[in-house]
């Protein structure tokens, strides 16, 4: 008996140290990931995927705690793994269910990330505590690593999107590459589709966005994942093609990160879209001076939105080549 106690005491001490270390790591992860600002696609996806790391460590803490003699005597050794696993999953689901009451949206993707973390932790726990054969231990840990790596797919993808977006700047959007579909969303009953340029759009053989504006309040397209710093440029250009036989109006809205959601605190302009090709030019100086109480900040642009206020009947417009331009420099070059 004395020999058993002498060998078990160091083991319990090491288990306690491990639980404390994992708990400290869990607190550090929660603190770090909560500090991430969701200001672009990469950071948003990174914060979402952080659920996997957090629930991986949390489930390890729970499984190691439940495997201590105090809990094993009350639960039984066979219930340690199920309680740790389902405890983690139920916690994740409950967190998503209460999110709407905290002003946030629940997410099935977050629950999926929670599941990856919990499953990976249980595999690691089983490999360390339950399996004897070395090849089975390696297989369990390899499976855990594979599951953990799945959580990095979207952050890596969106990191690439942000990199390509920055490389394309001052072109904001031109529909040529599939990754650009991540930069915009259709709003309020509008629909978008990437198509070839209409036959009447002379000198444009590229892909464009067809914007279908249906019945609804302010249907349109919002570009919210754009480069924020426009300070080195002085004009915004947009090419729009209309197959309609009559004129129609389209409103453009530009806001910065300080926007207070008031109409008077952003740039708004109604564009008259003629049949055929429309090459729109807007001076950035007009955008800066648009808010009534302040100057709009060109180094912190938040969104560019095009929408209709008169979509009483279905209509379609084609949009391409949204870009910034140094209008003054180009004018000087033309005079040389």
The secondary element (H helix, E strand) that includes residue 95 is helix 80-98
> What confidence score (pLDDT) does residue 329 get?
55
For residue range 158-169, list pLDDT tens digits in order: 999 999 999 999
Question: Do the beta carbons of residue 303 and residue 226 sit within 8 Å?
Answer: yes
Domains and CATH numbers, the chain: 2-159 (no CATH), 172-335 (2.60.120.430)
> What confidence score (pLDDT) does residue 3 get?
42
Q: Which residues of the chain register pLDDT less than 70?
A: 1-10, 215, 311-314, 327-336
d(CA 109, CA 44): 12
- State pTM to two decimals: 0.84
> What confidence score (pLDDT) does residue 25 get?
96
- The closest of 210, 202, 217, 154 to 182, measured between CA atoms, is 154
> What confidence score (pLDDT) does residue 120 get?
98
DSSP codes, 262-296: -GGGSEEEEEEE-SEEEEEEEEHHHHHT-SSSSPP
């Amino acid at each position: 008996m004395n020999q058993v106690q002498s060998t078990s005491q160091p083991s319990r001490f090491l288990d306690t140290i491990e639980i404390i270390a994992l708990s400290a790591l869990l607190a550090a992860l929660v603190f770090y990931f909560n500090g991430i600002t969701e200001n672009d696609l990469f950071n948003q996806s990174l914060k979402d995927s952080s659920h996997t790391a957090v629930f991986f460590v949390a489930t390890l803490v729970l499984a190691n705690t439940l495997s201590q003699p105090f809990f094993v005597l009350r639960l039984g050794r066979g219930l340690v793994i199920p309680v740790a696993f389902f405890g983690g999953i139920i916690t994740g689901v409950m967190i998503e269910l209460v999110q709407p009451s905290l002003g946030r949206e629940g997410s099935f993707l977050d629950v999926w990330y929670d599941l990856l973390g919990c499953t990976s932790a249980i595999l690691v726990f089983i490999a360390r505590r339950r399996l004897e054969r070395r090849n089975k231990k390696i297989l369990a840990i390899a499976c855990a690593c594979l599951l953990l790596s799945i959580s990095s797919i979207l952050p890596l993808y969106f990191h690439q999107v942000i990199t390509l977006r920055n490389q394309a700047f001052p072109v904001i959007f031109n529909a040529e590459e599939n990754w650009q579909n991540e930069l915009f969303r259709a709003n309020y009953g509008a629909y978008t589709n990437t198509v070839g340029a209409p036959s009447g759009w002379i000198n444009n053989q590229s892909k464009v966005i067809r914007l279908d504006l249906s019945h609804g309040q302010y249907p349109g397209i919002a570009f919210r994942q754009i480069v924020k710093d426009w300070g080195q440029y002085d004009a915004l250009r947009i090419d729009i093609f209309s197959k309609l036989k009559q004129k129609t109006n389209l409103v453009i809205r530009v806001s910065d990160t300080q926007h207070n959601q008031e109409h008077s605190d952003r740039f708004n302009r109604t564009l008259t879209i003629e049949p055929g090709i429309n090459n729109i030019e807007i001076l950035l100086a007009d955008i800066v001076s648009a808010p009534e109480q302040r100057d709009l900040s060109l180094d912190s642009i938040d969104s560019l939105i095009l929408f209709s206020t008169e979509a009483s009947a279905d209509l379609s417009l084609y949009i391409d080549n949204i870009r910034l331009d140094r209008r003054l420099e180009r004018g000087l070059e033309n005079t040389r």
